[in-house]
A and B are shown apart, each in its own frame.
Chain A
Amino acid sequence: MATVLFYILGFTMLAATLLCITRRNPVHAVIYLVAGLFALALMFYLLGAPLVAAWQVIVYAGAIMVLFLFIIMMLGLAPQDVPEGPSWQRWGPLALLSSSIMICTLLLIFKDPMAGQQIDDFYLAPQVLGEALFSRYALAVEIVSFQLLFATIGAYMLGRPLPKGEDQ
């Protein structure tokens, strides 16, 4: 049952992503992407990662995508501001490139003997993950927290009003 659900979710996710990347309007693209991310969060859950799944919903679908929408709205991108979407002439070489990469990736995956093996049932309790995070990976957590701090400062610096004369 879980296995079937996993594959259904996987293809849902790919379909939503495909729709997302072909949209001209970023608002539509973000909506499709949110759908894809929900599906991905459920896949995480099925792979025994309830905490990651929860955060995927909260941080990705909740915060980051809302941030995207917020920026789009803040800049007031009227439909005429949205640049021309992908011209269909560009599809040709791109399709070739993407499909080649895709084939290579899949071939690489399935050539490996590990690919045929099954994933056993696995469930990681959030407490265990939390313990690992704050004991073995405490330094990494600190570094990432600094990263977030710097990003905040950077975003603040970039967001200040432009000096006079630098417009346009």
Chain B
Amino acid sequence: MISFGHALAFAGALFVLGLTCVLLHRQILMILIGVEIMLNGASLVFVAASAYWQQVDGQVFALLLMAITAAEVAVALAMVVYLWRRKRTLVADEFNRMRG
């Protein structure tokens, strides 16, 4: 028998690792990978909750989440290509034209 708390703990740990990845790296691709990890953590919460309550909804949301992630990745990677073409670099801090 799996403890619900443990499943959530795995999800939380995954999420925090993703967050650490986002904060740690300055390269846009790695930041995106961090975002993916965080989203996976969220998926795990949905699936675990679905199993805990014996309901279908959690899994539905996990699927929708996956679809939205796909959309997000499509745009984000297109943007990566765009930024690369503009500046020949993927270091996020180089794109600081919004500085006040």
Q: Which residues of chain A have C-beta atoms less than 8 A from B10's C-beta?
A: 10, 13-14, 43
Chain A 1-53 interface residues, beta-carbon cutoff 8 Å to B: 2-3, 6-7, 10, 13-14, 17-18, 20-22, 26, 29-30, 33, 36-37, 40, 43-44, 46-49, 51-52
- Pair A152/B74 contact, Cβ less than 8 Å: yes
The answer to whether B14 touches A17 (Cβ under 8 A) is yes
| Residue in B closest to A74 when the chains form the complex, CB atoms | B81
Q: Are A154 and B14 also in contact (CB < 8 A) when A46-B2, A47-B51 are? A: no
**Are B9 and A109 in contact, with the CB atoms below 8 A?**
yes
Q: Are B70 and A64 in contact (CB-based, < 8 A)?
A: yes
Find the A residue at minimum CB distance from B85.
Answer: A162
Q: How many positions in chain A have a CB within 8 Å of any CB in the partner chain?
A: 90
Which residue in B36, B51, B88 is a CB contact (below 8 Å) of A33? B36
A26, A52, A74, A81 pick with most chain B CB within 10 angstroms: A52
The answer to whether B56 and A129 touch across the interface, beta carbons within 8 angstroms, is yes
Q: Do most interface residues of chain B lie in helix, strand or loop, or is the interface mixed?
A: helix
B residues with a Cβ closer than 8 A to A are 1-10, 12-21, 23-27, 29-30, 32-34, 36-37, 40, 43-44, 47-48, 50-52, 54, 56-57, 59-60, 62-64, 66-75, 77-82, 84-91
Q: List 11 A-B contacts (CB under 8 A).
A: A20-B21, A60-B36, A67-B73, A68-B77, A75-B84, A116-B5, A117-B52, A119-B48, A144-B71, A162-B86, A167-B85
- Which residue numbers of A lie inside 8 Å of B, CB to CB? 2-3, 6-7, 10, 13-14, 17-18, 20-22, 26, 29-30, 33, 36-37, 40, 43-44, 46-49, 51-52, 55-56, 59-60, 63-64, 67-68, 71-72, 74-75, 77, 81-86, 90-91, 94, 97-98, 101-102, 105-106, 109-110, 112, 114-120, 122, 124, 128-129, 132-133, 137, 140-141, 144-145, 147-148, 150-152, 154-156, 158-159, 162, 166-168
